Structure 1
Amino acid sequence: MLDDEERRARQEAHWLVREFGAEAPLYAAMKAEKAIEQRDFGRCARWKRVLEILADSGPVELRRGAAVK
């Protein structure tokens, strides 16, 4: 069973891929950086987890292409 933070991170990762495709990791990194600047380390941790999820998922283009077929 996933806790709320993990579920939210996975939802964010899925949304980023849908909205930004191959640029999803860049967007997540920018969000993590912004959270650090604002000293919101809880939010930064969530965006870092989103980055991990995106990295573990493999190439975004392949996932998007597979979903279209």
Structure 2
Amino acid sequence: MLDDDERLARQEACWLIKEFGAEAPLYAAMKAEKAIEQKDFGRCARWKRILEILADSTPVSSATAKSAASKY
């Protein structure tokens, strides 16, 4: 069973894929970077988890997602 944080991260990842397609990992990486700049490490961790989900679930852009996730 998934906890609420994991469920929300998966929902966000699905929405990003629908909304941005192959660019979803880039959008998530930008959000993670903004969270770091604002020193909001909880939000950064959430976006990093979303990047990991995107890397595991999008075969077309998994290399892009994995490289973006590796930065954080």
TM-score range for the pair, normalised by the shorter chain length? 0.7 to 0.9
In structure 1, the gaps of 5 or more residues are 62-69
Q: How far apart, CA to CA, are the structure 2 residues paired with 1:58 and 1:19? A: 14
Which structure is richer in relative contact order (CA contacts within 8 A, separation 6 or more)?
1
Q: Percent identity at matched positions?
A: 85
1:8 aligned partner: 8
Q: How far apart, CA to CA, are the structure 1 residues paired with 2:34 and 2:58? A: 25
TM-score (norm 1): 0.83
In structure 2, the gaps of 5 or more residues are 62-72
Give the Å deviation of 1:4: 1.1
Give RMSD over aligned pairs: 1.3
Give the Å deviation of 1:60: 4.7
Larger-Rg structure: 1
Number of positions where the alignment pairs a residue of Structure 1 with one of Structure 2 = 61
